Amino acid sequence: MNEILKIEHLTKKYDDLTVLDDISLAVNKGEVLVIVGPSGCGKSTLLRCINGLEDIQDGKVSIDGKTGMVFQSYELFPHMTVLQNLMLAPVKVQKRKKDEVKKEAGQLLERVGLSAKKNNYPRQLSGGQKQRVAIVRALIMHPEVLLFDEVTAALDPEMVREVLDVILDLAKQDKTMLIVTHEMAFARAIADRVIFLEGGSIIEDTTPAQFFDAPRSERARKFLRTFEFENVH
Amino acid sequence: MGFEVLLKGKNMIRLLQGLGVALKISLISVVISIVLGLILGMLMSLKKPVINMLSRIYLEIVRIMPQMVLLFIVFFGFTKLTGRNLSAEVSSIIVFSFWGTAEMADLVRGCLQSIPKIQYESSMALGLTRLQTYIYVIIPQIIRRLIPLSINLITRMIKTTSLIMMIGIVEVLKVGQQIIEANRKSSPHAAFGIFATILLLYFLACWPISCLARYLEKKLV
Amino acid sequence: MNITVLQEYLPIFAGAFLLTIKIGLAGVALAFVIGVAGAFARYFKIPVFSAIIKCYVELFRNTPLLVQLFFIYYGLPVMGIRISAEICGILGLGLLGGSYMTESLRSGLEAVPKIQTESAFSLGFSRPQTFMSVILPQAFSISVPALVANVIFLLKETSVFSAISLMDLMFTAKDLIGLYYNTTESLFMLVVFYIIMLLPVSVLGSIAEKRSRLKMFGSD
């Protein structure tokens, strides 16, 4: 197996508050890792530490290549059209040729069903459309690892599906992905491996079938129960 | 109703020239204010204690002191202090720039604060350097927000420059008074016509600019 | 600076200060009345009235107070409408301020989400009850920063009253400089009295802004 991301003894603190406590994790190429856990457990912080948005107090993160990240709040640049949003980083950071980037942007937009929107501004798009553009914006940089930080949490329910379908499509192309999500059905469908995080530590690291059907820890069982409803009749 | 006096001789042209004096002074002051305000606004968002304290005092002075009072202090005070005369035009440009710079700096600071931190982060996540983030992502957004606000500053500056007649500059109001005086016998109603005309002239100068600012605010933000 | 001169000037400036405050406050009060009525008309799109208010707001926001005062004080009398300088000051300030207050209150009203009205209706509130006890208080909280800025702006604008021969602070300072050449003392008193007038408003305004923010968001 071909390790692409390796986290060793990662510790992250805000002043006295320990958010991530001695996390060790290795991800193989093509693996889809879903990270779940109650709010405040450090899932998002973990992603932010991986791509260097947060400095870490202890430990090591090594990546074979670069990361791309998609945020909950899309964070498209509001003053640029969809196409300009997509082209900015490849042209300015990677110094790629405009024509080539434009062509690729066109192909990727086609793939997520947004060819018609390439000259629109973000404010003219729905939440689901914005998020699909944000995913393309990350993809076009050809990252080795894709990080998704609760990308459907701000969306209306009917738009969740269109975004998740794009991510499912990426999984079929064997992209390496780390996905933080609250969509349990989606997590189960897409994950090769599930990480359950609580209180800044990894409580379970297992297969989706094992995690969802027979979680080993009481804490994971309790967490999963919050997604179930008793039958009232 | 006193409007006929406008058609006599060069009266209308003289009024327009008077308005021109006021507009010229506002334009010069606005340009100075925008340049200095941009610099000060950016300095203020560095959050250095000394700059913060000094700029707060400066902003508070401008907030509570009428421009008229500042105008008197500079115009009369300068002469008293140095024994030399400062021309009324220069005094007014100094005062209006002093005022406009504070207004502009406050707008710039507000705009800088209004860009969410995660916009910086998403640029970093794409691999943009700090400098590239500012050039391509942050500054264009700030400029878009600032354009309508700065245009609004122009109309406020134009309205404020009506004060310059009080330190003896012959601008549109002063010209108006002169015309009324000169035609007291032949046109006893001139005061109504002249001041109504001046009101309209100011309106015609400011209103299109206000509309433009409003339009741009809707379009750009 | 000459202390004796300052002592001599103190009562003169105090008198002018009281006059300035009196006209200033009366003007601000009138501005509020016009503002509430104007915002009401615009918000509920009352036919004709709403259009008149719109024109009035545009006219007064896009012309200087000094010119407005000249028109009222020197222009109207020749047409037979005679107004005393004090009333002219109050009227001018009130009309100018009314246009600003209308805009501030109107945008405050429009910033209250429509769903608030609907939820009040669903609780059984009548239309006037909804407006008075649900919409207006929220709109007012939202408008506080703008209203404070308007009050400060209007009190500052009192400095142009001297142009219509009102014996306000500015007039007194100019007069004394002309008569006795005690420029430093006159300017000093002028500044001191404007600080006395506006610093408390500015400070209270900042506090009011904080409190209204607290009301809206629970914390700052």
Domain locations in chain B? Answer: 4-220
Rounded Cα distance between B96 and A217, Å, is 70
Residue in C closest to B209 by C-alpha: C62
Q: In this model, does residue C219 exceed pLDDT 60? A: no
Task: Please report, in angstroms and rounded to a whole number, the separation of the first and last CA atoms in chain A.
Answer: 50
Rounded Cα distance between C128 and C123, Å, is 14
Q: Give the A window 39-78 contacts with B, CB below 8 Å.
A: 51-53, 66-69, 71, 73, 75, 77-78
Tokens matching residue A42: 């450090």
Residues of chain A with pLDDT under 50: none
Grade residue B221 by pLDDT with cuts at 50, 70 and 90: low
Whether C and B touch, i.e. at least 3 CB pairs below 8 A, reads as yes
**Tally of CB atoms within 10 A around B163:** 27
What are the structural domain ranges in chain C?
3-217
Instruction: Report the b/e string of A11-20 with b at 16+ CB within 10 A.
Output: bbeeeeebbb
- B59, B61, B72: best to mutate for the C interface, most C CBs within 10 A: B72
User: Looking at per-residue confidence, does B5 or B88 come out higher?
Assistant: B88
Residue in C closest to B208 by C-alpha: C62
Rounded Cα distance between A113 and B186, Å, is 78
Rounded Cα distance between C205 and C199, Å, is 10
Q: In this model, does residue C217 exceed pLDDT 60? A: no
Rounded Cα distance between C183 and C155, Å, is 24
Q: In this model, does residue C216 exceed pLDDT 70? A: no
Q: What integer pLDDT is reported at residue C220 of this predicted model? A: 36
Estimate to the nearest angstrom the gap between the alpha carbon of B46 and the chain centroid.
Answer: 26
Residue among C203, C209, C196, C214 nearest C14 (CA) = C196
From start to end of chain B, where are the E strands?
Answer: none
Q: If you average pLDDT over every residue of chain B, what do you get? A: 89
Please tell me the distance in Å from B94's CA to the nearest CA on chain C: 18
Task: Kindly state which CATH superfamily the domain C3-217 is placed in.
Answer: MetI-like (1.10.3720.10)
* DSSP secondary structure of A99-145: HHHHHHHHHHHHHTT-GGGTTS-GGGS-HHHHHHHHHHHHHTT--SE
B136 to A92: CB separation less than 8 angstroms, yes or no = yes
Residue B86 DSSP code: P
- B114, B123, B126: best to mutate for the A interface, most A CBs within 10 A: B126
Residue in B closest to C155 by C-alpha: B66
Q: What is the CATH number of domain B4-220?
A: 1.10.3720.10
Element (H, E) at B93: helix B88-114
Q: Does the domain at residues A66-192 carry the CATH identifier 3.40.50.300?
A: yes
- Among left, alpha and beta (phi > 0; psi -120 to 50; other), residue A95 is left
Q: In this model, does residue C139 exceed pLDDT 80? A: yes
Write out pLDDT tens, residues B6-52.
777 788 889 899 899 999 999 999 999 999 999 999 888 888 899 99
Give B121's contacts in chain A (Cβ within 8 Å).
53, 71, 75
